[in-house]
């Protein structure tokens, strides 16, 4: 469904991505990990065109992301994205956050959008908070709303950009639970995360990035069992040892 | 100069033919209010547009808006007014110049209002821009990632928050339009400061006149301040500390 082929990206002289190639099949859950600054967030933002790239190709269900003729808003409406800092719209209530794009992008009427939004809010366990504003919710609750907001667009795939990194430890699990549930239901997911427990539980494949390159792209058992590269071994030993 | 203070002078007939002195000041108040309000509305529109353009990814337009802000922010308002009133009609094509000099209705008022709008607009543009830039980049990305177009993202995501953030500096700007409108006396607009000068000259009651005008200016500033405070309260986002406390 998502095909990434030899993607390179530079910020001026500095190369942030080097010849990255991988793919995510329908229903597959792929976890992207690696040290900070390795380019994993940049790579995932290239998938829905939030970050431009200078060479290579990315296609989502056959639509080329880098092609200037591509209608990016239309493509993005079909690919959900969840951010590290939630990025709910603070001046809108929870239900307005859930309805905005459904109405403005998909053209659903308000009742339809509301029904869908409330159903998803219930699913992430926050129906009681429908009338509140983002600033009145905890980080974990905000992130669950953000996931519901993305799901309200009926996406064909979901991108997660370090969804639990900005959360207090006690709130990490409530967000991961929602993600695990999604994965089990067959959602196509690409997740940048350091939550190796999540990767072990639901990932099909793990991609390890370092300094802008994909160093390892393997089935999770293989990745956790015997990572081939020394850098991945070193990384794993650091984050799994405490 | 007569330092004898006579409050009754406000009720005396002025030799200008405008009725009693209080009416003279009232006419001034009317023109000051009209100039300040129309200048402010114009400034809001120009400032919002220029401010947005300066943060948008169309480079040529952004440069143009930057140039506008720099030029209008860096030249004294008095000089700008002189330019619009005395120079522009001379350098325009003959027909347009003649129209400005002979047929344009309320020439002093229109020149002052538009001049004030352009001057204040540059300052508003600066604030709108800083308001937009103060929002995290993630907000824009979140709007775009949901499939909103860039204009929709500005309209529904960025601007509502940016404007809330810049309400306090905009309040000062709004109050400034009233104070700056006094400069228009230099092109002969009979606004409040112009009338103050007239009244001082004819009545010699300097203290009474300046006291009355001061009270009127303070009253207008207070009204603007209260109005903006009301807007700020109305626009407050629950659960957020923005623009001054919960």
Mean pLDDT confidence for B214-240: 93
Taking CA atoms, A30 is separated from A58, A83, A159, A224, A240, in Å, by: 16, 17, 10, 14, 19
Contact A181, A21 (CB under 8 A): no
Q: In A, which residues are within 8 Å of B240 by CB distance?
A: 90, 133, 135
A26 in contact with chain B, both atoms CB, cutoff 8 A: no
Three-state SS annotation for B48-70: HHHHHHHHCCCHHHHHHHHHHHH
The reported pLDDT for the residue numbered A241 is 65
Taking CA atoms, A21 is separated from A5, A159, A170, B74, B149, in Å, by: 4, 17, 35, 52, 29
DSSP B237: P
The reported pLDDT for the residue numbered B6 is 86
**Within chain A, which residues score under 70 in pLDDT?**
241-242
> Inter-chain contact B161–A134, Cβ cutoff 8 Å?
no
The angle, 0 to 180 degrees and rounded to 10, between the axes of the packed helices A169-184 and A139-151 is: 20
B243 pLDDT higher than 60: no
> Inter-chain contact B139–A153, Cβ cutoff 8 Å?
no
B236 in contact with chain A, both atoms CB, cutoff 8 A: no
Contact B161, A92 (CB under 8 A): no
Pairing of strands A157-161, A189-192: parallel
Q: Which pair of structure tokens corresponds to residue A169? A: 């430890």
In sequence order, what are the residues at sequence separation of 6 or more whose Cβ sits closer than 8 angstroms to the Cβ of residue B161?
A89, A90, A91, B131, B135, B139, B242
Q: pTM higher than 0.90, yes or no?
A: no
Question: What is the b/e burial string over B27-60, where b = at least 16 CB atoms within 10 angstroms of the residue's CB?
Answer: bbbebbbbbbbbbbebbbebbbebbbbbbeeeee
Contact A38, A28 (CB under 8 A): no
Q: What whole-number distance in Å separates Cα of residue A146 and Cα of residue A165?
A: 14
In sequence order, what are the residues at sequence separation of 6 or more whose Cβ sits closer than 8 angstroms to the Cβ of residue B64?
B53
- Nearest CB partner across the interface for B145, out of A76, A85, A132: A76
Q: What whole-number distance in Å separates Cα of residue B95 and Cα of residue A105?
A: 49
The reported pLDDT for the residue numbered A242 is 55
Give the best residue of A104, A130, A131, A154 to mutate against chain B (max B CB count within 10 A): A104
The reported pLDDT for the residue numbered B242 is 47
The reported pLDDT for the residue numbered A236 is 87
Give the best residue of B57, B147, B161, B164 to mutate against chain A (max A CB count within 10 A): B147
Listed as own residue / partner, the contacts of A215-223 with beta carbons closer than 8 Å and 24 or more positions apart are: A215/A34, A217/A22, A220/A31
> Quick one: CA torsion of B13, B19, B25, B27, rounded to 10 degrees?
-170
CATH architecture, domain B7-234: Orthogonal Bundle (1.10)
Strand A189-192's sheet: what is its strand order? A79-82, A157-161, A189-192, A29-33, A205-210, A213-219
Taking CA atoms, B52 is separated from A54, A70, A172, B62, in Å, by: 27, 25, 37, 9
Give the best residue of A49, A65, A73 to mutate against chain B (max B CB count within 10 A): A73
B197 pLDDT higher than 50: yes
Mean pLDDT confidence for B172-176: 95
Alpha helices in A13-93, H assignment, sequence order: 40-47, 72-78
For B108-131, the pLDDT digits (tens) are 999 999 999 999 999 999 999 999
Residue indicated by tokens 């860039």: B150
**Does ipTM come in above 0.90?**
yes
Sign of the four-CA dihedral B159, A92, A122, A202: positive
Average pLDDT score over chain B: 92
Q: What whole-number distance in Å separates Cα of residue A97 and Cα of residue A134?
A: 9
* Ramachandran category for residue A49: left, alpha or beta (phi over 0 → left; psi -120 to 50 → alpha): left
Q: In A, which residues are within 8 Å of B237 by CB distance?
A: 90-91, 133, 135
pLDDT class of B245 with cuts at 50, 70, 90: very low
Listed as own residue / partner, the contacts of B17-21 with beta carbons closer than 8 Å and 24 or more positions apart are: B21/B199, B21/B203, B21/B209
- Give domain limits for chain B: 7-234
Phi, psi of A192 (to 5 degrees): -85, 115
Q: Which of B122, B133, B127, B124 is nearest to B158 (CA)?
A: B133
> Inter-chain contact A91–B160, Cβ cutoff 8 Å?
yes
Q: In A, which residues are within 8 Å of B156 by CB distance?
A: 89, 100, 104
Percent of chain B residues topping a pLDDT of 90: 80
Domains of chain A by range and CATH?
A: 2-85+158-240 (3.40.50.300)
Q: Which pair of structure tokens corresponds to residue B19? A: 């009725």
Q: What whole-number distance in Å separates Cα of residue A120 and Cα of residue A126?
A: 9
The reported pLDDT for the residue numbered B143 is 97
Q: Which of B207, B62, B238, B48 is nearest to B127 (CA)?
A: B48
Taking CA atoms, B244 is separated from A198, B167, B210, in Å, by: 41, 10, 35
The SS3 call for residue B117 is helix
Chain A residue whose CA is closest to B157 = A89
A52 in contact with chain B, both atoms CB, cutoff 8 A: no
Q: In B, which residues are within 8 Å of A84 by CB distance?
A: 138
């Amino acid at each position: 469904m998502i095909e990434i082929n030899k993607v390179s990206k530079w910020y001026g002289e500095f190369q942030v991505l080097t010849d990255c190639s991988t793919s995510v099949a329908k229903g597959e859950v792929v976890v992207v990990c690696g040290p900070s600054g390795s380019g994993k967030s940049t790579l995932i933002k290239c998938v829905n065109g939030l970050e431009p790239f200078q060479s290579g190709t990315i296609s989502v269900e056959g639509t080329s992301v880098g092609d200037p003729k591509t209608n990016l808003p239309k493509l993005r409406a079909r690919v959900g994205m969840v951010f590290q800092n939630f990025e709910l719209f603070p001046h809108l209530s929870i239900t307005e956050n859930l309805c905005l794009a459904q109405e403005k992008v998909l053209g659903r009427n308000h009742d339809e959008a509301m029904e869908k939004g409330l159903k998803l809010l219930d699913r992430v366990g926050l129906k009681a908070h429908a009338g509140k504003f983002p600033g009145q919710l905890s980080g974990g609750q905000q992130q669950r709303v953000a996931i519901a907001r993305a799901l309200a667009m009926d996406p064909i795939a979901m991108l997660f950009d370090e969804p639990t990194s900005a959360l207090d430890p006690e709130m990490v699990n409530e967000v991961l639970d929602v993600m695990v549930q999604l994965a089990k239901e067959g959602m196509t997911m690409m997740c940048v995360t350091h939550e190796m427990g999540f990767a072990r539980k639901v990932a099909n494949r793990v991609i390890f990035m370092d300094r802008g390159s994909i160093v390892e792209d393997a089935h999770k058992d293989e990745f956790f069992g015997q990572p081939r590269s020394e850098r991945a071994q070193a990384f794993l030993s650091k984050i799994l040892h405490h | 100069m007569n330092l004898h203070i006579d409050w009754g002078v406000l009720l005396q007939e002025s030799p200008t033919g405008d009725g009693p002195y209080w009416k003279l000041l009232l006419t001034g108040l009317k023109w000051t209010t009209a100039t300040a309000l129309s200048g402010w509305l114009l400034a809001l529109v120009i400032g919002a547009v220029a401010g947005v353009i300066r943060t948008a990814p169309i480079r040529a337009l952004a440069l143009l808006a930057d140039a506008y802000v720099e030029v209008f922010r860096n030249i004294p308002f008095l000089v700008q007014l002189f330019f619009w009133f005395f120079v522009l009609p001379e350098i325009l094509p003959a027909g347009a110049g003649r129209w400005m000099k002979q047929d344009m209705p309320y020439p002093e008022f229109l020149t002052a209002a538009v001049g004030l709008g352009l001057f204040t607009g540059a300052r508003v543009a600066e604030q709108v821009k800083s308001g937009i830039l103060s929002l995290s980049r993630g907000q824009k990305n979140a709007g775009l990632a949901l499939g909103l177009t860039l204009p929709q993202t500005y309209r529904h995501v960025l601007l509502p928050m940016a404007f809330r953030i810049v309400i306090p500096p905009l309040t000062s700007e709004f109050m400034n339009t009233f104070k700056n409108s006094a400069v228009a006396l230099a092109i002969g607009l009979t606004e409040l400061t112009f009338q103050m000068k007239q009244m001082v000259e004819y009545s010699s009651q300097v203290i009474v006149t300046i006291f009355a005008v001061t009270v009127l200016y303070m009253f207008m500033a207070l009204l603007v301040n209260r109005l903006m405070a009301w807007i700020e309260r109305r626009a407050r986002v629950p659960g957020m500390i923005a623009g001054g406390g919960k």
